Each structure stands twice: as structure tokens, then as C-alpha cells.
Amino acid sequence: MQDIAYLDQLAAKRHALQELWGAALPEELLADYTVAPAVEPFGYRLRMDYVCSDDRFGLRVRKRFYAIVDLQECHLIPPSLFPLLRTVYTAARELGIPDYNVYHNTGFLRYLVVRRNVRDEWLLSFVTSEQAYEAQMDAVAEAARTAGAASVWWLLNPRHADLSFGEPVKHWGAAHLPQYVLGRTLLMGPNTFFQNNVRGFEQILSYMTPFVAGADRLIDLYAGVGTIGICLAEHVGQVFAAELSDESVELAQRNIHLNRLDERVSVVRSDVAAVLDDARLARGSGNDVLIVDPPRAGLGPEVCGLLRERGPQRIVYVSCNALTQVVDYELLRERYDLVAARGFDLFPQTYHCEHVVVLERKAIA
């Protein structure tokens, strides 16, 4: 949507969200309903996955999976960073490292993935189809370090599935990249999930704070590397976080210790349904608030069923896909009222928008 004026993008997203929620959005919320604008409409993204295919370095053409736009500039990351990445890609080709052909599923270098923090330090991952060209990979990693990368990873994805993640083969420089959110320091790795727009996510954390403050316990599901629980820990008695990814749980534990929150925050490796089925977290066990920030697929019927049965008094639901959030709310509204809702434009220049709703459990008649 880079060809559309930003205020028009914002108005379109607000209209689309209101249309989507329709009658589910209570009348008393409509007057103040808004989409918070992006702090930075350009140059905001903290991760970009650039395809390497047939001497092209860039992004896929919409609805044409095999077509790649060979980018010479990118407005979604800081202008000074993209030329450095392009230089690293050129060095890889000059070293004889072959690209991957996305149509025939042949070749070697599939992606260059950059992750940066708000201080513009960056981590670069090479995603390859096989473990080969080891001398050349050492050389291109050195080129990346010379270009300014604080950390360089070699990730292996030998499958035909088009994924920009992989099994770690080797790394050069620092193992992790620190990210800084609301005064907290959080480590992230090459494969761990992290919000792509930290300044925008800080807006969401500030919005959630009044709905969380004073809780005996904050239950943070889909916790990732612990961002939400760690950033809101000072406002609650205890934080109980759950995450399924081994790598994310390990980093969450390190982040808890790094921020000196060992006595207040704990994290377990667990499926969300298993956590909600735990009697210790059942409704009525205290003044609990539940925060969920699921993937684009949403919570789903099983999790919503458990929440209807034993969910806490308040749920704060953060979503990157309002379509599935609405579906989930239809499954929850028998037991929960919608008491607050706001959009946050974490993805300017795209059709996507983050959406937060707050649900209160209905009184039992």
C-alpha cells in the first residue's frame, strides 16, 4: 500500500475493522473506537526475509509465488541497512555460492534474513538447502561481519517447504541479538518469534497495562521469549508464562534472569490447551488476568472451549489477524462480554493490522 497516503491507509483499516466486528462491537465502544497510528510509517520493520533466486535478491510478487522482484531499495527497514544486505548478497554470488531456484527446488542459498533491534544492531541469517560450500560460507560470513552484522547464522532447510527458518549449522559473532522494549532487555535468536514493530508494540503494552495492573497473577500464553510477561511484571504479583518452542523457552528463561525477575516470573514449555486444562489455573484460583497473543490461525475451538469452561475473569486478546479473532470471540461470547477494543497499525504500508480486545467474564445468573 505504499502508493496510498498514510492517513487514508489508517482510515481504511479502521473502517474494515468496524465492518468486520459489526454488531459484536458494543455501541458504547463505537464513539471512541480507533486505530492507533504507527510511530514510524516507514523503516519500522525489525525483520525482513529476502529471497535469493536466479540472481534476484528481494521479495515475491503478490499472487505469483515464483516471481521475484529484484530490489535495489526497501522502505520497510532503515534506508542505510538495505545496501549493506545487498552488498553481502553480491559477495555471496562472487564467492560462487549458488542461489536457490524456487520453481525447480534446486540450488543452495534460499534466503537472507535480517533481524535488527531499535538501536540498529543486526543479526543476519543465511538459509540454505544443504550443508555445503563451507569455505565460501565462512568467507561470506566474514563479509557480513565487516558490513556491520553483530551476529551471523547459517540455518539449514533441506525440505521443499518454503521456510525462512532452519536448523542451526554454525554462527559467527554473538549468538543472540538484544532487543529493548520499555526499558527491558530481551535476547532473540535466528528462529525465535519477536514482534516486528517494537515501537508499535510498546503502544499495545501501554494500552494493556490498566487492564492488567493489580492482578495477583498474569498468565501469559504464547509467550515467545517472554516479552509481554517481562514488560508487565512490575504491575502484577506474579507472571506465569507458557510457550511450546524449546528455543523460545530457553531464551525466555535467560531473559527472566537477565531482567532480575526470577522471583516474579516463571515460564514452562507447554501446549496452551494443556495449560488451560491445569486445575491450578482454573477460574476462581485468584485475581488472574490472561493474555493471549496467538499466531494468525487464532485460538481455535479447543482452546476457546476450555476458556468458556474455566477461563479467568479477564482476558486480553492480542491478534495479528482480526478475522480469526472475531471467529474466536463468537465462540467465547456466551461466557464473555467485550469491554474494550482498539486497533494498532503495526504494519503500515500493508493490509495487516494488530487488534486488541478485552473480555470480561459474565456474571453467573
Q: Which domain holds residue 167?
A: 47-175
190 within some domain: no
For cell 495479528, name the residue.
320
185 within some domain: no
Q: Which residue has the higher pLDDT, 177 or 62?
A: 177
When mean pLDDT is compared over 50-64, 97-111, 127-141, 306-320, the highest value belongs to: 127-141
Of 25-39, 126-140, 165-179, which gets the smallest average pLDDT? 25-39
CATH number (domain holding residue 54): 2.40.50.1070
- pLDDT exceeds 90 at position 310: no
The mean pLDDT of 204-228, rounded to a whole number, is 95
24 within some domain: yes
54 and 154 assigned to the same domain: yes
Taking the C-alpha atoms of residue 347 and residue 44, their distance in angstroms, rounded to an integer, is 8
120, 143, 175 - which closes a domain: 175
20 and 94 assigned to the same domain: no
1 within some domain: no
320 labelled catalytic: yes
- pLDDT exceeds 80 at position 279: no
253 and 354 assigned to the same domain: yes
pLDDT per residue as tens digits for the range 128-167? 999 999 999 999 999 999 999 999 999 999 998 888 999 9
pLDDT at 359: 96
pLDDT at 62: 83
- pLDDT exceeds 70 at position 282: no
175, 208, 234 - which closes a domain: 175
134 labelled catalytic: no
pTM: 0.90
Q: One of 74, 304, 320, 353 is an active-site residue; which one?
A: 320
Strand 64-70 and strand 100-101: the pairing is unpaired
26 and 118 assigned to the same domain: no
- CB burial of 162-173 (b: ≥16 within 10 Å; e: otherwise) equals eebbbeeeebbe
Question: Residue 295 corresponds to which amino acid?
Answer: P
- pLDDT exceeds 80 at position 263: yes
55 and 17 assigned to the same domain: no
265 and 334 assigned to the same domain: yes
256 and 322 assigned to the same domain: yes
Mean pLDDT, the chain, rounded, equals 92
191 within some domain: no
CA angle 3, 7, 11 (to 5 degrees): 105
85 and 164 assigned to the same domain: yes
As to burial, measured by CB atoms within 10 angstroms (0-12 exposed, 13-18 middle, 19+ buried), residue 333 is: middle
Selection from 203, 222, 200 nearest residue 347 by Cα? 200
57 and 155 assigned to the same domain: yes
